[in-house]
Amino acid sequence: MGERKAAITLDTAVEAWRGGSAKVSTLLSREGVVAEKRRARCHCGEVAFSVELVDGFNTIRRCNCSFCRMRGAVAVSAPLSGINVFKGKEKLTAYRFNTRDAVHYFCAVCGIYTFHQRRSNPEEYGVNVACIEGVSPFDFPEVKVMDGVNHPADGGGGVAGYVLYEKA
């Protein structure tokens, strides 16, 4: 990882991102940590955004709370500063339930869940990996399922299990 940081300059990463030649740009954050900036969108394309994943896809997870069970998305974490909606911000609809702490955003046109401000960590967004260009929830053979029924903010939490995917 250290070699990669030394090989990529901020100017090179920004130029690649602006040029649109790559789906991913690698950026150096203020802390010197390599962060990936990726393009993302809803199904119909009315909402488009960039997302900065500081820890890549190491934070992939699902949740078993009542809402996430029905939604079924695989999410990955991004800092609050890591989302930039550059198209269709007015098309985003927010949904809150239970404690109303988490804010879930959906495209008002196609209904796709794009991202949400997390209840367990309000300084982060959970981002639907299926919205990220070139990424599918089926790219991950094992996804941790977090115990949202016994939410960490209520004194519970932890890993409830795993969802496994194997190509036929």
pLDDT in tens, 88-140: 999 999 999 888 888 999 999 999 999 999 888 889 999 999 999 999 999 99
Give CA–CA dist 128/161, Å, rounded: 19
Q: pTM of the full predicted structure? A: 0.79
pLDDT in tens, 42-97: 999 999 999 999 799 999 999 998 999 999 999 999 999 999 999 999 999 999 98
Residue ranges of E strands in 23-135: 24-28, 34-41, 48-53, 61-63, 75-79, 83-87, 92-95, 103-107, 113-117, 124-128
Contacts of 4 (CB under 8 A, 6+ apart): 26, 34
Give CA–CA dist 13/20, Å, rounded: 11
Strand, helix or coil for residue 125: strand
CATH number of the domain at 15, please. 2.170.150.70
Residue type, 47: V
Total domains in the chain come to: 1
List the domain range (segments joined by +) for residue 142: 2-164
